[in-house]
Amino acid sequence: MSRFKRAAVIFLVCSAICATAVPALAQAAVVAGRVRGADGSTLEGATVAGESLRNSSRTVEGRTDDGGWFGFLGLVSGPWRFVITKFGYEPAEGVAFVRRTGRVDMNFVLNVDPLRPPVPTTGVLAGIPAGEIQEELAAAHRMFDRGRFNDAIEAYEELLERVPQLTSLHLQIGHAYVERREYERALAAYEAVPAETTASDEAAAAIDALQAVMASGR
């Protein structure tokens, strides 16, 4: 079962602030902004990559600070495309029209990726090494993407045993079993996704689609 991720294209209202408002930067173009989660929380460590749409060789890259802020100084004028990525979230992008001087403000909101959710560092998961969990999740996803479905299932199940709160991994396990045409096991994995969670709607749709396949004998 193929999975497609779509970057959320955010139409931004970029406001140019006159140079007199920032006299120290009066002779330079500035792009600055903030990245938040859908719940309003600020996102630290998100990657911000920019590319001039007039000259693709002109690129910039940085990360957000602990307040979710980022900024770039001295960009060439013209349209720039910025893409924001962070593990556990769906990417977002937007276009800023940079002038020779002045400042452009941008704001991004990232939605949680239901298949690859971020690992909380507080609450029920407090004390769990988030960085290590994220690396293991990324490795398991790479196995899946490369067709190593048995290895991916084993990796997901080990993570679930360690962190039972990552219930959306049942969905990924189901997808892997579908790829192996082990439909009964796939169905059991989908049904293990708790109701009213971020992955429950997709799990319900996957169950319906799988039951149709099983009924047709394919």
What mean pLDDT, rounded, does the chain reach?
A: 83
What pLDDT digit, counting tens, does each position of 5-16 carry? 444 433 333 433
Same-domain check for residues 130 and 166: yes
What pLDDT digit, counting tens, does each position of 83-106 carry? 999 988 999 999 999 998 889 999
Same-domain check for residues 58 and 145: no
Same-domain check for residues 71 and 146: no
Q: Is 116 within a domain?
A: no
Per the structure, the count of domains in the chain is: 2
Q: Looking at the DSSP assignment, which residues form a beta bridge with residue 73?
A: 30
Q: Is 33 within a domain?
A: yes
Same-domain check for residues 30 and 106: yes
Instruction: Quote the Cα angle for 75-78-84, to 5°.
Output: 65
Same-domain check for residues 106 and 51: yes
Q: What is the CATH number of the domain that holds 35?
A: 2.60.40.10
The letter for the amino acid at 145 is: D
What pLDDT digit, counting tens, does each position of 34-77 carry? 999 999 999 999 999 999 999 999 999 999 999 999 999 989 99
Kindly indicate the confidence band of residue 179, based on its pLDDT and cuts at 50, 70 and 90: very high
Structure confidence at residue 10 (pLDDT): 38
Query: Could you tell me the two tokens for 17?
Result: 């602030």
CA distances to 29, 42, 59, 67 from 56, in Å: 18, 30, 7, 29
- State which residues form the domain around 27: 10-110
Q: Is 167 within a domain?
A: yes
E strand or H helix at 169: helix 169-179
Structure confidence at residue 191 (pLDDT): 94
Comparing 52-66, 144-158, 176-190, 203-217, the range with the smallest average pLDDT is 203-217
Q: Which residue has the higher pLDDT, 115 or 32?
A: 32
Kindly indicate the confidence band of residue 128, based on its pLDDT and cuts at 50, 70 and 90: low
E strand or H helix at 72: strand 69-73
In whole angstroms, what is the distance from residue 56 CA to residue 60 CA?
11
Same-domain check for residues 106 and 22: yes
